[in-house]
Amino acid sequence: MRYSANGNSFVIFNLLTKPMNDYEKERLVLENVGDDDGALFVEKKDELFAMDYFNRDGKRAKFCGNGSRAFLKYLFDEGYINEGRIKFWSYAGVLEGIVKRDKVSVAMPDASSIEKVYFDSCEGYLITVGVPHFVVRRENVEKIDVEKVGKYLRDLSNANVDFFEEISRGFLRIRTYERGVERETKACGSGATATFIVYRKETKVTEATFYTLGGPLRLYLSEGKIFLEGSVERCSEG
């Protein structure tokens, strides 16, 4: 089963009745994910639906923002859950999502660290939101060679790399080179969240729209949490 969350594409494997060990999961990812960004394994832990996410390189990541939205939409489409709020398990902790027919929101993990750093004279913020991100503010983001510059900074920082610029207050353009996928992806939910946190340090906004290659993502504060919201589509069966 394939899903796309703002252009982030995932293969979903239902393990509710057929558990797998980590080696079996890794082999399944390497043999089946192909050109998609990663794989989501649907499981149960402590009576909660559980998401186990692997990047396309066959390695587990603690969390994936857009992946978690695809995970919840799959549960809804398959009749496991109804519209509304739901708690689910992830390697980044127990989180909450809000499921509607046309969009899915997820309360993102709290940032565990944030610091201004330099990599080869490139200034940015290193911040962990489930997974690490190096957030860089640049002009003319559309013109950046993300495959080249992003790969270089990813190797130096050992993190995902996000380039962003402000279009107007509360509206930003963002492009991300993802670690583990090892290329630019059409969107990155945790990258947008990390960038939102950095942007809020300067502006104090409580909501922002991020324009990604795969379409707009909305980030907003609610009940002390940052929520990531966007569309999710089922691409294929099987």
* pLDDT grade for 238, boundaries at 50, 70 and 90: low
Extract the tokens encoding 172. 């930003």
Name the average pLDDT for the chain: 96
Give mean pLDDT, residues 189-210: 97
Q: What CA–CA distance (Å, rounded) separates 92 from 130?
A: 6
- Per residue in 101-121, pLDDT (tens digit) is 889 999 999 998 899 999 999
Residues acting as catalytic residues: 64, 188
Give the per-residue pLDDT at 101.
Answer: 87
Query: Taking a C-beta distance cutoff of 8 angstroms, is the pair 180, 55 a contact?
Result: yes
- pLDDT value for 113: 83
The confidence score (pLDDT) of residue 112 equals 86
Q: Among 175, 179, 185, which residue's Cα sits nearest to residue 141?
A: 175
Q: Residue 137: what pLDDT? A: 97
Q: What is the pLDDT of residues 128-186, one digit of tens each?
A: 999 999 999 999 999 999 999 999 999 999 999 999 999 999 999 999 999 999 999 99
The pLDDT value recorded for residue 158 is: 97
Q: Are both 2-101 and 113-230 of the same fold?
A: yes
**In the predicted structure, residue 237 carries a pLDDT above the cut 80:** no
| DSSP-assigned letters across all residues of 78-138 | TTSS-SEEEEEEETTEEEEEEE-SS-EEEEPPPP-EEEEEEETTEEEEEEEESEEEEEEE-
Domain 113-230, CATH 3.10.129.10 — does that match? no
Which parts of 129-219 fold into alpha helices (H)? 151-157, 189-203
Instruction: For domain 2-101, say whether CATH 3.10.310.10 is its number.
Output: yes
Q: 135 phi and psi, to 5 degrees?
A: -100, 125
| pLDDT tens digits, 44-103 | 999 999 999 999 999 999 999 999 999 999 999 999 999 999 999 999 999 999 999 889
> Looking at the whole model, is its pTM more than 0.85?
yes
Q: Which residues pair with 228 in a beta bridge?
A: 106, 219
Ranges 90-94, 112-116, 196-200, 231-235: which has the least confidence: 112-116
Domains of the chain, residue spans: 2-101, 113-230
